[in-house]
């Protein structure tokens, strides 16, 4: 499963994307699956008012969610942070 997080916006309006590939049987695959399953994919997106805010698009397999930065908390925050950290580790820092 490919898990990707794109963050767009902020003062510069730039897009950053982090991703990780998790295959069944891979070490830690069950942990990744639990993180993905813990996210409330079916809840409606709540817009985040204000200028220069970030918007996140999170994809995991065939699931996708678009979130304002205020909505990236709890399970979403754990997934976003883990994907970002794993992506940086795979790039050597």
CA distances (Å), origin 15, targets 8, 11, 39, 51, 53: 4, 11, 22, 16, 12
What's the per-residue H, E or C state across the chain?
CEEEEEEEECCCCEEEEEEEECCCCCCCHHHHHHHHHHCCCCCCCCCCCCCCCEEEEEEECCEEEEEEHHHCCCHHHHHHHHHHHHHHHHCCC
Give the model's pLDDT for residue 25: 84
Angstrom distance (rounded) from CA 9 to CA 52: 6
Spell out the per-residue pLDDT of the chain, length 93, in tens: 999 999 998 878 889 999 999 998 888 899 999 999 999 999 877 666 666 788 999 999 999 999 999 899 999 999 999 999 999 776 555
Task: Return the bridge partners of 5, or none.
Answer: 18, 58
Give the model's pLDDT for residue 40: 96
pTM: 0.86
């Amino acid at each position: 499963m490919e898990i990707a997080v794109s963050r767009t916006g902020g003062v510069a309006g730039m897009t950053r994307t982090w991703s990780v590939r998790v295959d069944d049987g891979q070490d830690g695959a069950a942990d990744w699956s639990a993180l993905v399953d813990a996210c409330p994919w079916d809840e409606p997106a709540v817009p985040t008012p204000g200028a220069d805010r970030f918007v996140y698009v999170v994809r995991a397999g065939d699931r996708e969610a678009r979130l304002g930065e205020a909505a990236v908390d709890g399970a979403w925050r754990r997934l976003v942070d883990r994907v970002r950290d794993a992506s940086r580790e795979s790039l050597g820092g």
